[in-house]
A and B are shown apart, each in its own frame.
Chain A
Amino acid sequence: MSDATLSPADNTRPKRRSRLLVTLAGDRKAQFGLIVLALFALAGIFAPLLAQYDPNEMTLDMMAGLSAAHPLGTDDLGRDLLSRILYGTQVSLFIGISTVALALAIGVTLGLVAGYFGGWIDTIIMRYIDLQWAFPNFIIAVYLVAVFGTGLLNVIVAISLAFVDDFARIARSMTLTLREEQYVDAARTLGFSKPRTLFVHILPNAVAPIIVQATVSVSYAILGEASLSFLGLGVDVSTPTWGLILADGRSFITQAWWLGVFPGLAIMLVVLSINFIGDWLRDALDVRQKAI
């Protein structure tokens, strides 16, 4: 028996790929989003090459305005703002992607298990998920940082746990629908193990709404990390992150406006790009869900 996924007879996945490309050709916002996001990803990866200065190197050139030597100026400790923002890109994108990967792994597993097994397993899992659902993700993340403390790993765990309920609910509702499909019956009849049925046959067919949710979650995760860092609840102060750079510059915005403008602009451009991409995917993959 091959490991190929059992799917509905009219398997739409090859069609899905071409539909993505066709809709992309007519979607200027999505094109903008993909290009800007790619530029930021490159900026993050090549930050050590692109940055002219060490992001934490203090100089006597304090709060210097925009110039050829410092294209985005310097902060109150004479650190080059552009270099700090470039390094901040690494942290923001890393946190955005890793938190969503973790949230997706935990949430989708919980949702699949709850939906497939039903009964008391479903009840226990969903009672908890519903409890968490009653609160905004950011507040959950703040609560968890209150418990775990600050730092890179704690922030990643806090934000990803805050997103678990979103993925669990989607995976569960997809599983409930797919459980009754004939090809899942076929997998059962063939005597496949339950994990194999769940992960090899149900999951790939539930993937579209999960992709859309994961995409928009990356933007929420980046906003969440920036907000936590801004409040002093994020990664430690020696790591330049966009939220932290804004927090550092906040007291000096009346003398040095660039400290208040550019780090936030970076956050907004990345989040906007991801939102554009998410919107395109939602239309192209034909996923109907709530606005937030």
Chain B
Amino acid sequence: MAAYVLRRLIGSVLVMWAVATLVFFMLRLVPGDPIAAMLADVGGPEEIAAMKAKLGLDRSLLVQYGLWFSNALQGDLGASIYGSRVPVTQIIAEAIPRTLSLSLLSFVIAIVIALPAGIISATRRNTLTDNAVSFLAFLGLSMPDFWLAILLIIIFAANLQWLPAVGYIPLAEGFWPWLRHLILPAIAIGTAFSAIIARMIRSSLLEVLSSDYMRTARSKGLTPRMLMFGHALPNAMIPVITVMGIAFALLISGAVVVENVFAIKGLGRVLIEGILNRDYPVVQGAILVVSAIFVFSNLIVDLLYGVIDPRIRLH
């Protein structure tokens, strides 16, 4: 197991290095000169050259890469090129709790919906309930998350006025204010995720329920409850957990979009604003952190899978 963990860990670090390198060089291909754009109203060619020298942009690409990389390793991702030049690490440090709060709450909401939905539709296969669940799952998968967000705002914020339409309150300032601000975006993000998980639980459960050992368990006279929670569900969850890794990625990309609807300044909002403003250091930093979340959540899911299903470790 230790060798397997080590191998996967090294693999993940290599992926991060490749991403960092690709991001650095590809962003240098961007047409247009952000420094010239930034100083368009206030400075001539000398000011532009001076600013470039100050930011190290007059040196060769490889030197810039080396400097940026060694700084990044020490946790220095540069500073926003606008305004008071806030350090990127600070911007991201403020954004991470928002995005993580949002993703975790979406995850919880999605599982709370998906688990019973999947179990009910598997045990009542081909009934009206099963068809209804399957249709709702299709709807959930087909609805753009940002549109669902808008619909939720129209209903619960604008008309019923039960919940706020924008903003974020840190958890430290109270659980209810935090939840009230996050519940609508979390539903918007979690819906597609819960549809995927519900469908997966259903098909995985159906496969397990028709297996020989389930027949044996039934013939031993176990109650339906013991059959479901003692035997069927634990086995059916193995494939579901692999899909959760992929689906977790879906939560983060959902957050990237939905944060923009609810004006929550999480990683997604930081990334998109950075792109729209051509703020290189911010875009670079946001991409790195978002990527790191994917790579390491994939790693955790893989390791978890190795714990649940020992056959995986051999490969």
Contacts known (A139-B294, A233-B272, A291-B196); A261 close to B252, Cβ less than 8 A: no
Residue ID in chain A nearest B145 by CB atoms = A227
User: How does the 8 Å CB contact mask read for B40-81 relative to A, with 1 for contact and 0 for none?
Assistant: 000000000000000000000000000000000000000000
Contacts known (A146-B275, A253-B153, A276-B138); A223 close to B253, Cβ less than 8 A: no
Q: Check A74 for interface membership: any CB of B closer than 8 A.
A: no
Which segment, of A49-57, A113-121, A183-191, A265-273, faces chain B? Answer: A265-273
B252 adjacent to A136 (CB under 8 Å): yes
Which segment, of B101-109, B226-234, B283-291, faces chain A? Answer: B283-291
Contacts of B250 in A (CB 8 A): 136, 292
Residue ID in chain B nearest A230 by CB atoms = B146
Interface size bracket, A side: 35 or more
Contacts of A233 in B (CB 8 A): 272, 275-276
Contacts of A29 in B (CB 8 A): 138
Residue from the list B30, B196, B203 in contact with A292, Cβ < 8 A: B196
B158 adjacent to A253 (CB under 8 Å): yes
Which segment, of B119-127, B214-222, B255-263, faces chain A? Answer: B255-263
User: In whole angstroms, what is the CA distance A276 to B139 when docked?
Assistant: 10
A292 adjacent to B243 (CB under 8 Å): yes
A275 adjacent to B141 (CB under 8 Å): yes
Residue from the list B145, B158, B243, B283 in contact with A291, Cβ < 8 A: B243
A260 adjacent to B18 (CB under 8 Å): no
Contacts known (A264-B147, A291-B200); A138 close to B253, Cβ less than 8 A: yes
User: In whole angstroms, what is the CA distance A29 to B27 when docked?
Assistant: 44
Q: Check B23 for interface membership: any CB of A closer than 8 A.
A: yes
Which residues of chain A in 253-292 are interfacial with respect to chain B, using CB atoms and an 8 Å cutoff? 253-254, 257, 260-261, 263-264, 267-268, 271-272, 275-276, 290-292
Contacts of A160 in B (CB 8 A): none
Q: Check A232 for interface membership: any CB of B closer than 8 A.
A: yes
B142 adjacent to A134 (CB under 8 Å): no
B249 adjacent to A136 (CB under 8 Å): yes
User: How does the 8 Å CB contact mask read for A240-255 relative to B, with 1 for contact and 0 for none?
Assistant: 0001001000100110
Interface of A is mostly: helix
B147 adjacent to A136 (CB under 8 Å): no
A268 adjacent to B154 (CB under 8 Å): no
User: In whole angstroms, what is the CA distance A223 to B15 when docked?
Assistant: 27
Q: Check B112 for interface membership: any CB of A closer than 8 A.
A: no
User: In whole angstroms, what is the CA distance A136 to B255 when docked?
Assistant: 12
Contacts known (A139-B253, A146-B287); A253 close to B150, Cβ less than 8 A: yes
Contacts of A138 in B (CB 8 A): 253, 256-257
Residue ID in chain A nearest B139 by CB atoms = A272
Could you tell me how many residues of chain B have their Cβ less than 8 Å away from some Cβ of chain A?
A: 51
Residue from the list B249, B260, B294 in contact with A231, Cβ < 8 A: B260
Nearest chain A CB to B257 CB, angstrom units: 5
A272 adjacent to B142 (CB under 8 Å): yes
A231 adjacent to B257 (CB under 8 Å): yes
Residue from the list B29, B154, B261 in contact with A261, Cβ < 8 A: B154
Nearest chain A CB to B135 CB, angstrom units: 8
Q: Check B182 for interface membership: any CB of A closer than 8 A.
A: no
Q: Check A218 for interface membership: any CB of B closer than 8 A.
A: no
B291 adjacent to A135 (CB under 8 Å): yes
Contacts of A146 in B (CB 8 A): 27, 30, 271, 274-275, 283, 287
Q: Check B295 for interface membership: any CB of A closer than 8 A.
A: yes
A246 adjacent to B146 (CB under 8 Å): yes
Nearest chain A CB to B161 CB, angstrom units: 10
B23 adjacent to A143 (CB under 8 Å): yes
Nearest chain A CB to B72 CB, angstrom units: 17
Contacts of A276 in B (CB 8 A): 138
User: In whole angstroms, what is the CA distance A147 to B23 when docked?
Assistant: 9
Nearest chain B CB to A223 CB, angstrom units: 6
User: In whole angstroms, what is the CA distance A29 to B138 when docked?
Assistant: 10
User: In whole angstroms, what is the CA distance A292 to B195 when docked?
Assistant: 11
Q: Check A25 for interface membership: any CB of B closer than 8 A.
A: no
Q: Interface of B with A (CB < 8 Å)?
A: 15, 18-19, 23, 26-27, 29-32, 138-139, 141-147, 150-151, 153-154, 158, 196, 199-200, 203, 243, 246-247, 249-250, 252-253, 256-257, 260-261, 271-272, 274-276, 283, 287, 290-291, 294-295, 298
Ranked 5 nearest A-B pairs via Cβ: A264-B147, A272-B142, A271-B142, A254-B158, A260-B150
A-B contacts besides A134-B295, A253-B154, 9 pairs, CB < 8 Å: A131-B19, A139-B256, A142-B272, A146-B274, A148-B30, A226-B146, A243-B146, A260-B153, A267-B144
